[in-house]
Structure 1
Amino acid sequence: MEAFVDFTNQTQGRERLLRATQYSCMLLSYMLEHKMGKEKVVTKLKQLETSMSSGRKLFRLGNMVHAFVATRRATRLPDLVPRFCLTFSNLNRTLYFICDTILWVRSVGLCSDINKKKWRHRATKCYYYSLVLNLIEDVYELCWRMEQTVRTEKAQTDLPPNSQRVQNLVSLLTGGLQPFLLLLCLTLRKHPPLLLDTVKNLCDLSSPLDRLGICKTNPGIIGLCGIISSIVGILTVASPRLRLKP
């Protein structure tokens, strides 16, 4: 009970719960949309989804400051690839939250002259670029972890660990798909934060891909991906050790 209270006392925790509820409503309304006699239920689910989305915007009002601070921190990272990816990812997140705030101002009626479609498109593009950069950093981190796993296995079998990262991965790929997949699973199992971050970014990508017309899906897939991503977000907020650190 204390853990739940601590979780809900955090703004991020409440935002994750609203997000999970929003995408659950999206998935349920999609599943019930074409069933007879469920029109009222679908309408209520869509209204609840809209309310959850508005509530999340309210919780995210101050996030542009956190994203800007994260951008400054990322510029100090020693490794070039994580520094580049996380700096520009957080910069895009900052721009996304600015667009999100403008959309919130429009939704509450403070300024009705704002072009909602245009600003939503800008927000989606910033969100998309941020996720792509995060995934590039995840892949880089995964390659580095896989190299460490190979070296550890070689050391345990008394083989000389003198291969470079690219040579290790190329040798695994030329040795067949099965050894590579086994190494991938072993690496991700040893590093849960990397696994969770990769899954979250992949799931989050479904929404901007659909909105930008890059890969059209449906509300059911977006809702399911959103639920998975929200569960991962809840886990990382409830247990910070599961959060990937640069």
Structure 2
Amino acid sequence: MPLQQIVLHPTVNNSIKYASTTVGRDKVYKAVQFFSRFLVWYFKRQGYDKTTIQRYNNLKSTLGISRKLMRFGKPVEHLQHATKALNEVDEITKFTTIAQQLGYATYLFWDTFVWAHNAGVYKFQQIKRINENAHRFWFIGLVFSIIHGLYKLYLNGYQHNFMRQVSKARFAESSEKSNVRSEAESLMKERKAVIIQLVQDVLDITIPATALGYLHLEDGLVGLAGFISSIMGIQSQWKKVNSTK
């Protein structure tokens, strides 16, 4: 039956697998949230009626509150990543990873209070300062994530050049060259993933940087940056969940 074919279609199965992950849902919510932020900015510039603007503003706010609740307990996960990074041999990788994860953990810690305030659970008098602290540590986490990504790109390029030299060596056997080619392909995949994450981080950092006054971007640009970053995150999570190569 057509209905059965639709319900049991592989794309539907993959979508269910994706939606069953917290990260997957968060990326979708984030995409809608920041596109709504862009639309609010656009509608204001175009002189749309207040009802339409308020509708999308409410959508943006509601999704923002929902995402904060979904991240409840997430700081512990980042603390675990920071603890595991203590075993890293490379000192730069260790430092940037720990700093990144501690930044994210602290950001989400403060963000929990922002959620409580916005959801009406408890009204904090110092909510402005709390919000600034959240954005500040988010910014710090992203800065170290970018540094970490750039360092990984450097290491990747160094390893790739080494593999290329080995593959061109006259004394290298055919079996060895085959292994080198395989490792080179793995390095290229890793490089692509690092670049994607770097682009996402650069786009995301405009959000806390603007909130803190480090950058002076219009809401529309910040909304688009967050939306594009979310779409990239959705694609990455989809591939991860559904093992798409």
Moved more, 33-42 or 53-62: 33-42
The partner residue of 1:70 within 78, 81, 84 is 81
Partner of 2:100: 89
Q: Could you tell me how far apart the structure 2 residues matched to 1:239 and 1:12 are? A: 13
Moved more, 110-119 or 120-129: 110-119
CA pair 119-188 structure 1, distance change in 2 beyond 3 A: farther
Q: How does 1:17-28 map to 2 (within 5 A)?
A: 17-28=28-39
What secondary structure is seen at the aligned counterpart in 2 of 1:235? helix
Q: Could you tell me how far apart the structure 2 residues matched to 1:134 and 1:242 are? A: 25
CA RMSD for the aligned pairs? Answer: 2.3
Higher helix share: 2
Partner of 2:193: 193
Task: Return 5+ residue gaps in structure 2 as ranges.
Answer: 1-11, 171-186
State, as a whole percentage, how many aligned pairs show the same letter: 21
What secondary structure is seen at the aligned counterpart in 2 of 1:205? helix
Q: Could you tell me how far apart the structure 2 residues matched to 1:21 and 1:188 are? A: 32
- If the length of structure 1 is used for normalisation, what is the TM-score? 0.81
Partner of 1:175: none
Deviation at 1:214, TM superposition (A): 1.3
Q: Could you tell me how far apart the structure 1 residues matched to 2:155 and 2:124 are? A: 49
Deviation at 1:75, TM superposition (A): 1.4
Q: Partner letter of residue 61 of structure 2?
A: T
Deviation at 1:154, TM superposition (A): 3.6
CA pair 241-24 structure 1, distance change in 2 beyond 3 A: same
Q: How does 1:35-74 map to 2 (within 5 A)?
A: 35-74=46-85
Partner of 2:230: 230
Q: Could you tell me how far apart the structure 2 residues matched to 1:109 and 1:41 are? A: 24
User: Do the aligned partners of 2:30 and 2:63 also contact (CA within 8 Å) in 1?
Assistant: yes
Task: Return 5+ residue gaps in structure 1 as ranges.
Answer: 160-186
CA pair 121-242 structure 1, distance change in 2 beyond 3 A: farther
CA pair 37-194 structure 1, distance change in 2 beyond 3 A: closer
CA pair 38-188 structure 1, distance change in 2 beyond 3 A: farther
**1:44-72 residue CA offsets vs partner (Å, 9 max, x unmatched):** 11111011101101101121111111111
Q: Could you tell me how far apart the structure 2 residues matched to 1:207 and 1:49 are? A: 14
Partner of 1:12: 23
Q: Could you tell me how far apart the structure 2 residues matched to 1:136 and 1:241 are? A: 27
Q: Could you tell me how far apart the structure 1 residues matched to 2:218 and 2:47 are? A: 20
**1:214-233 residue CA offsets vs partner (Å, 9 max, x unmatched):** 12111111111101111122
**1:68-90 residue CA offsets vs partner (Å, 9 max, x unmatched):** 11111111112111110111111
User: Do the aligned partners of 1:188 and 1:194 also contact (CA within 8 Å) in 2?
Assistant: no
Q: Partner letter of residue 204 of structure 2?
A: D
Partner of 1:217: 217
**1:174-198 residue CA offsets vs partner (Å, 9 max, x unmatched):** xxxxxxxxxxxxx877722111111
Q: Partner letter of residue 226 of structure 1?
A: G
**1:104-153 residue CA offsets vs partner (Å, 9 max, x unmatched):** 12222232234110000000110011000011111111111112232334
What secondary structure is seen at the aligned counterpart in 1 of 2:45? coil
Partner of 2:203: 203
Q: Could you tell me how far apart the structure 1 residues matched to 2:213 and 2:112 are? A: 24
